[in-house]
Amino acid sequence: MKVDTPITAERIRETEALIRPHIRHTPVLHVDMIDFGRAPLPVALKLECLQYTGSFKVRGAFANLLGRAVPEAGVVAASGGNHGAAVAYAARRRGIPATIFVPTVTSPAKAERIRSYGAKLMIAGDRYADALAASEAFSTETGALTIHAYDQVETLIGQGTLGLEMEQDLPNIDTVLVAVGGGGLIGGIAGWFAGRKRIVAVEPEGSPTLHMALDAGHPVDAPAEGIAADSLAPRQVGGLMFPIAQAFVEHSLLVTDDEIKLTQASLWEAARIAVEPGGAAALAALLGGRYVPAPGERIAVLVCGANTTAVRFG
């Protein structure tokens, strides 16, 4: 299926070359579901939780900073936490001032990470939509460049570099399971593969943004609740990614908070991988039986966020 979108493989490839010096090529861990107490099934975990700042978001942040003209006023972003940390980190690396607006649901771990990168942190409202409105007002007032967390061409293309990297690492996979909030990650990945691989979305029951949009045929307001609300709970899925999702995302699966929490614990116990709720959501679809693979199906799962205080040392 052909989709009229600026999120193309050619632009993703060009952007990957541009940002490559600034990001990590994250590893793949090959596991078997028998180690998680399930029936035997080999699965490839793409550990984007080991990316700079603890999530894939740094790809889109650098794509924006290197691909757009940045004014003297610097950059501004709204975030549940991970995008803000990524923009703050990339801005510090480029010597650019950054202001990050976050809602009250942002975890202390993510807020502290944003501050640690030297950005000015602003608390605005209870949900991501509130922080977004505040960031847009700030941009209008100061002239700072807005870097949207998911509904921005450069952001989507930057996240799409993860699809390119996965194909380099795992050329023979059949299916990729991807957690969804605003849809920047899955939109970029689906734009890269463009139907050549099965792409399955996974969302928390409390924030089914893409699920409801696919049912309605267009982005709609969705609930923004649940354990992963700081990373997977915007008001609506992004308009730029939605046509890509309609064309290239097979379907959206919903997982419960309990399934996400169990997956977090299982990843730590079985593989010593510490992730935040949003980072565990995609694997929760397998562990919870929401996604049932066909015999012989080769599956990759994105483990994409590590900004958590669930594991403490000392």
Q: How far apart are CA 55 and CA 303, in angstroms?
A: 9
Confidence of residue 134 (pLDDT cuts 50, 70, 90): very high
Rounded mean pLDDT, 8-26? 98
pLDDT given at position 127: 85
Confidence of residue 167 (pLDDT cuts 50, 70, 90): very high
CA angle, corner 235, sides to 124 and 242, nearest 5? Answer: 135
Q: What is the DSSP string of 267-284?
A: HHHHH-----HHHHHHHH
pLDDT, tens digit, for every residue of 215-241? Answer: 999 999 888 787 876 666 678 899 999
pLDDT at 297 over 90: yes
Confidence of residue 81 (pLDDT cuts 50, 70, 90): confident
Rounded mean pLDDT, 116-142? 93
Rounded mean pLDDT, 262-269? 95
pLDDT above 90: percentage of residues in the chain: 83
Rounded mean pLDDT, 163-183? 97
pLDDT given at position 109: 82
The residue among 268 and 313 whose pLDDT is bigger is 268
To 10 degrees, the CA torsion angle through 162, 165, 171, 177? -20
Q: How far apart are CA 84 and CA 220, in angstroms?
A: 24
pLDDT given at position 312: 62
pLDDT at 313 over 60: no
Rounded mean pLDDT, 28-54? 96
pLDDT, tens digit, for every residue of 92-124? Answer: 999 999 999 999 988 888 899 999 999 999 999
Q: How far apart are CA 295 and CA 298, in angstroms?
A: 9
SS3 content of the chain, % helix, strand, coil (to 5): 45, 15, 40
Tokens found for residue 71:
């004014």
Number of H helices, E strands in the chain: 11, 10
CB 119 within 8 A of CB 94: no
pLDDT given at position 32: 97
**Across 2-6, 228-232, 285-289, least confident range:** 228-232
pLDDT at 314 over 60: no
The residue among 305 and 121 whose pLDDT is bigger is 121
At residue 13, φ and ψ (nearest 5 deg) are: -65, -40
pLDDT at 310 over 80: no
